[in-house]
């Protein structure tokens, strides 16, 4: 078990958070630098349509998202889209320029800017101010999420639990992010160190 100093609850690291309903995480993080990139380890075991792994739904059209749809993934970065084959399975995905699937690079040469963005990056769903309850929920597992400006790690989210409730814990800031949707995350097994 680990936790913050000052008498806060102890958090148990777990392998993943799994969504099977309408759960999502609002990271509270608004990418606002053009060298933003994000790395996520994710698993999905079925085919269905429009399931968001991560999203920044900004007034700046198509600013940042990865969507799983059938056997493909749809990537949006700085206003430009790319479609990549992505069968059900477990992947490490990096959204940036270049973007990567399990370390294999492809280019998304977007021309929009993150400068001025105030919308939060969300996990497991597409969320915006017009629909704060979320839509297009990922049915799958997220193992970790790392956000960078260039090579500087600005947020490192790892799944944890307090008792039977799942969260994402940011090892950089020490903040805990809970389910902003409905239902409950399914918890992965405890990680013992």
Look at strands 89-95 and 17-19 and give their pairing. unpaired
Q: How far apart are CA 60 and CA 101, in angstroms?
A: 25
Kindly report, residue by residue over 71-95, the tens digit of the pLDDT.
888 898 988 889 998 888 999 999 9
d(CA 42, CA 18): 10
Give the tens place of pLDDT for each residue, 34-55.
999 999 999 987 766 678 899 8
Give the per-residue pLDDT at 6: 47
Q: Does position 1 have pLDDT exceeding 60, yes or no? A: no
Structural domains for the chain: 11-181 (2.60.120.200)
Place of tokens 């990567």: 100
Q: Give the Cα separation of 181 and 42 in Å (integer).
A: 19
Residue 43, H or E segment: strand 36-44
Q: What is the pLDDT of residue 178?
A: 95
* Cβ–Cβ under 8 Å, residues 112 and 76: no
Instruction: Compute how many other C-beta atoms are within 10 angstroms of the C-beta atom of residue 126.
Output: 21
Please give the pLDDT value at position 109.
75
Q: In 89-102, which positions are buried (b, 16+ CB within 10 angstroms) versus exposed (e)? A: eebebbbbbebbbe
Instruction: Please report which confidence band the pLDDT of residue 70 belongs to, taking 50, 70 and 90 as the band edges.
Output: confident
Residue with more model confidence, 170 or 137: 170
pLDDT digits (tens, 9 = 90+) for 111-162: 889 998 888 899 998 876 555 566 788 889 999 999 999 999 999 999 999 9
Q: How many residues does the chain have?
A: 193
Structure tokens at 83: 């479609």
Query: Model's pTM, two decimal places?
Result: 0.91
């Amino acid at each position: 078990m680990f936790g913050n100093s000052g008498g806060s609850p102890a958090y148990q690291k777990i392998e993943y958070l799994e969504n099977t309903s309408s759960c999502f995480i609002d990271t509270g993080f608004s990418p606002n630098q053009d060298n933003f990139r994000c790395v996520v380890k994710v698993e999905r075991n079925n085919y269905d349509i429009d399931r968001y792994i991560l999203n920044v739904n900004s007034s700046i059209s198509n600013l940042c998202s990865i969507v799983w749809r059938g056997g493909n993934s749809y990537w949006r970065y700085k206003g430009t889209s790319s479609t990549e084959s992505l069968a059900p399975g477990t992947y490490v995905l990096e959204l940036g320029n270049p973007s990567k699937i399990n370390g294999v690079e492809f280019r998304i040469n977007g021309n929009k800017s993150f400068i001025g963005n105030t919308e939060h990056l969300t996990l497991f769903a597409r969320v915006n101010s017009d629909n704060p309850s979320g839509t297009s929920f990922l049915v799958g597992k997220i193992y970790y999420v790392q956000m960078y400006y260039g090579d500087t790690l600005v947020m490192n989210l790892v799944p944890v639990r307090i008792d039977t409730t799942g969260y994402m814990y940011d090892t950089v800031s020490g903040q805990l992010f809970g389910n902003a949707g409905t239902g409950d995350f399914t918890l992965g097994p405890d990680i013992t160190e």
